[in-house]
Structure 1
């Protein structure tokens, strides 16, 4: 059953929708946008619901007030975790992993607009996004070891090495140090550094939303699915995926536009 984007009304962050682009904005700027138990759960639920919201074609993930996200709230998450029993701890860590799983499972490409502080769970959210743009002010830190926790948090040991390489990921996860915007761009974590990261992220999301949506969905699915298979298997998977895309009306429209020497008008079907 399809959901209307207007029905997605979260309580713990801002949500807006305009012509195919949904924007999530963490909005606790006075604390650099930390997460709480409730916002974790609500983000997880929103990304699960996006699988059933076809009008949303692309997502922008941002923070308010010049920072992206400072991670789990020290007083509302970290403190309570020190007093939690085994069952509670396991429930919490499973939920945080479910957020990353939901981000990867939702078909829409996710564009992260990173400025200022991007730390802990905030760095994980950036990592789990499909595309990342940085403001010059961006400082990204997987700082779990600095609070006595493993760098193996929310899929970081699996996903981060695939983005920046094993050695660089190991350094960030062991030391918890900040990665500057310039370093992140050089290492491939950020696609590019831009002056107005929010405007550029919206423009990129608009470009994707106006493009061949089913083809974008297939690309996201295969980028994840092919992590775990041999090249031979990947070739077979991509042959099947591309054949599916060749059945779409957007593929036909692209051919007709090319033949007529005009730009295609993709409809997403």
Structure 2
């Protein structure tokens, strides 16, 4: 920050910015940063602006501020700017995006907010943050996923590659099932893409088959897989089908009282 005046300010006078795109702060990493600050101090001043409440809003450097408080610093090096709301908002977003330590959903929301706040398009966002337009577009597409899947991406339970593969599906129930399968079985992105291609092909065949066979029983690809897993776990014949009203019916066949008792034990049912 050559040429800008650095001022020492108490951490108590600093407040987080409403423009902060980061929704999650890793306590362990904040602790590591605090230990570094205790030893070496804050190497990069915090960018702030004066508010009407005699406080200073953090435009860039909230992680450093949090770590400095943990390190019990009395004063922090800050650069005070006179940025107006729109400019402060843009600087805060762009600074965090360029640091490349936001998770994909935080980054997507940052692009979305930047587009809305500055009334710019994806090409202009790409120019401002120094990334190509395809990266911006692909990241923004993640916001089309259901909220629970976005949370999985934010929590690093599934990768951005997995999430992009899931965008090829338009049924939220199937998206959720595949996402949980990714986590449960540790599927690679390539394996997920292959599974989704099979599902889409199966869905297309299903539509065609329904036209040809009318009311005959049709089993959806995902239902087949669930049915097989139930049979494997119980060691019994099972039928899972979807009724015309959308409800699912599960039938389990058993040949003896001992098999019935085994099912009841697995379900923790006492008689």
TM-score band w.r.t. shorter chain: under 0.3
Determine which structure has the larger helix proportion and give its number: 2
Which has the larger Rg?
A: 2
TM-score where L is the length of structure 2: 0.25
Q: Which has the higher contact order (CA 8 A, sep 6+)?
A: 1
TM-score by length of structure 1 reads 0.25
